[in-house]
Amino acid sequence: MGLTEELPLYRVTYRLILLLFDVTKEFSREYKYTLGQDIKRDAIRLVRSIYRANRSMEKRFYLEEYLDNFELLKLELRLCSDLKLITIRKYVEISQLMDQVGRQATGWKNTYK
């Protein structure tokens, strides 16, 4: 078991979290304390799942939890795009990181079938 902070999935997830925190601070008051808070909370849950998967013998359980939270986050971000809370440019940037995250998490989970 290596350090969690050295895992590629951790690093790209952390970059995603930083971007999400930056994007949500620009939300209007109507969404900042509802959808914005939910996005931040759900993004931080991703890091928690990585940490737990890295230290656990039952990695698959925590990686499935990670992917569940990841799907919820994708839905929230699509909602932000549809509500025009984030620009197309930011949505593309977020989507590229989300793609990396999804591939890495799925690959890690599939090694524990």
What domains, with CATH codes, occur in the chain? 4-110 (1.20.1440.60)
Model pLDDT for residues 4-35, shown as the tens digit of each residue: 888 899 999 999 999 999 999 999 999 999 99
How far apart, in whole angstroms, are the C-alpha atoms of residue 42 and residue 45? 5
Model pLDDT for residues 43-78, shown as the tens digit of each residue: 999 999 999 999 988 888 999 999 999 999 999 999
SS (H, E, C) the chain: CCCHHHCHHHHHHHHHHHHHHHHHCCCCHHHHCCHHHHHHHHHHHHHHHHHHHHHCCCHHHHHHHHHHHHHHHHHHHHHHHHCCCCCHHHHHHHHHHHHHHHHHHHHHHHCCC
